[in-house]
């Protein structure tokens, strides 16, 4: 019988999904403000993504920090690449870098919604 480690589960999830958000809670019910902000951006922009509730599994919660060498949650992955946490995703959204990343990686999103976020925060 093989034991799957948290790292194996994380690697598998990141590999199988174009966009993954490791967060506290779920995209429907975030459990912290930072997770809520990133999920809100992705939801508003119409991005399809997998959400992983780190509160449901202590090994995943610690494992994702080790996996990315990043101390905080939420953590966003696009096409297997670690993008960042709440502050980075917020900055990238406002600068248009997140749009560019989605375009470069072939991830579908609502450009008009992204523009609305920038207008509201200008």
| pLDDT at position 122 over 90 | no
pLDDT digits (tens, 9 = 90+) for 23-68: 999 999 999 999 999 999 999 999 999 999 999 999 999 999 999 9
Long-range contacts from 3-11, C-beta under 8 angstroms, 24+ separation: 5/59, 5/63, 6/57, 6/59, 6/60, 6/62, 6/63, 6/64, 7/63, 7/66, 7/67, 9/60, 9/63, 10/60, 10/63, 10/64, 10/67, 11/67
pLDDT digits (tens, 9 = 90+) for 12-34: 999 999 999 999 999 999 999 99
| Binding site feature residues | 32
Domains within the chain, CATH numbers bracketed: 6-120 (3.40.30.10)
| Binding site feature residues for [2Fe-2S] cluster | 32
């Amino acid at each position: 019988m093989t034991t799957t480690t948290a790292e194996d589960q994380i690697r598998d999830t990141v590999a199988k999904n174009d966009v993954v958000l490791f967060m506290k809670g779920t995209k429907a019910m975030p459990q912290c403000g930072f997770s809520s902000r990133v999920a809100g951006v992705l939801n508003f922009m119409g991005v399809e993504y997998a959400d992983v509730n780190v509160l449901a599994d202590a090994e995943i919660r610690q494992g994702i920090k080790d996996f990315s060498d990043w101390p905080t949650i939420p953590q966003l992955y696009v096409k297997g690449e670690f993008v960042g946490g709440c502050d980075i995703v917020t900055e990238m959204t406002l600068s248009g870098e997140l749009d560019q990343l989605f375009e470069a990686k072939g991830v579908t999103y609502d450009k008009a919604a992204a523009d609305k976020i920038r207008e509201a925060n200008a």
